[in-house]
Copies of this chain bind each other. A is one copy, B any other.
Amino acid sequence: MTAQTLAELAALVGGEVSGDGSLLVTGVAPLEEAGPGQVSFFANKKYRAAFEASKAGAVVVARDQAAGGGRSLLRSSNPYLAFARISTLFNPAAVAVPGISARAEVDPTARVDASAQVGPLVSVGPGAVIGPRTVLHPGVQVGAGARIGADCLLYQNVVVRERCVLGDRVALQPGCVIGSDGFGYALDMEGEGQGPRHFKIPQAGIVVVEDDVEVGANTCVDRATLGVTRIGRGAKIDNLVQIAHNVEVGPLCIVAGQAGVAGSTRMGMGVAVWGQVAINGHIEIGDRVNIAAQSGVAHDVPAGQRVAGLPAIDERRWARNAVAFGRLHELRRDLRDLMRRVAKLEEEEKP
């Protein structure tokens, strides 16, 4: 990416320059590290000191941000998005280098598009399909009959098991597993005369990952028992998340790190699940529900609700209760004191 003027960048992102529009910008950097040729970003008030001390040539800020002591600003009604677009200009996604490494193991019955990049130490199983411009980094293992769309990016040591399907522009961070067996056993008390055992239920379904999904490092998405585990279009899933068999993650959902969703649960569109949340199996989470970090959701949640806690309840109610919990010991002491005083009053009341 060659340099652009601040005014050009503002035009590109629909923002407005306050200061020197002719400033030549060569890249982006954090407030603390940016130099006069770089653009930085400021929104969270916690970083005001860094903003004020920054040597950045310009800073992307909200429309109502006060002037920055002579520094050029790029004001935007969505500064986070504006900065993301500018950063993408200077940090474009890697482009596939077409070809199959001599150190990859591609089954003769697999179909790899001529524009795809297959790195060393990659395996592509029988009948698998790899779409145009898709990149498979070293150590990726693609199982038999799996289908991977166009412009996908599979980082190192990703596993996509047999028959699973990825749409276009899917990104899988390193170590991510798509299509592991779901966790399903039937208790068999007799076990053919050998005593109790957990009889494995075949996990014969697949995973479908729709277009524009990103899945984090070492996250696991289990294949369905029968049918499909589905990650909807444009959903974003963080690291170390567990998505169980037959779950449906709706389009545009956000699932943060170490959250887990148990089997057959359906999430609507645009649900936000924060870190370490656990969601029960066989329930429905409505559109745009927001689930606070570490919550445990046991039952259906209607569309638009914000919930928190274990078990999860309305977020505001939870917050009030959490304050009360912080004084629970004192509350108990006060109650005991009151019990004594009431007993005394009752005693005195006796004729």
Contact = CB atoms under 8 A, between A and B. Distances in A.
Interface stretch (A4-12, A67-75, A137-145): A137-145
Task: Give chain A's interface residue range (CB within 8 Å of chain B).
Answer: 35 or more
A40 to B, nearest CB: 8
A214 B238 CA distance: 23
Given A143-B156, A188-B81, A331 B324 contact: yes
B256 A183 contact: yes
A342 interface: yes
Contacts of A326: 313, 317, 321
Copies per complex? 3
B329 A317 contact: yes
B278 A260 contact: no
A298 to B, nearest CB: 8
A134 interface: no
B156 A141 contact: yes
A218 B218 contact: yes
Interface in A152-195: 155-157, 159, 161, 171, 173-175, 177, 180-181, 183-188
Interface in A103-132: 103, 105, 119-123
Nearest to A241: B240
Interface in A324-350: 324-329, 331-332, 334-335, 338-339, 341-342, 345-346, 348-349
Contacts of A338: 335, 338-339, 342
A184 B80 CA distance: 10
Nearest to A269: B196
Contact of A227 (B30, B80, B103, B252): B30
Given A87-B202, A293-B280, A328-B325, A175 B177 contact: yes
29 contacts: A28-B204, A30-B227, A33-B227, A78-B186, A83-B201, A85-B199, A120-B123, A141-B157, A141-B174, A156-B159, A171-B181, A173-B180, A175-B220, A183-B216, A183-B236, A183-B256, A185-B236, A196-B270, A217-B222, A242-B257, A262-B275, A276-B276, A280-B293, A311-B322, A317-B326, A321-B328, A321-B329, A335-B335, A348-B349
Given A174-B180, A276-B276, 6 more contacts: A91-B204, A120-B123, A121-B123, A155-B180, A159-B175, A275-B278
Interface of A: 28-30, 32-33, 44, 46, 78, 80-81, 83-85, 87-88, 90-91, 101, 103, 105, 119-123, 137-139, 141, 143, 155-157, 159, 161, 171, 173-175, 177, 180-181, 183-188, 196-202, 204, 212, 214, 216-218, 220, 222, 224, 226-227, 234, 236, 238-240, 242, 244, 252, 254, 256-258, 260, 262, 270, 275-276, 278, 280, 282, 293-294, 296, 310-311, 313, 317, 320-329, 331-332, 334-335, 338-339, 341-342, 345-346, 348-349
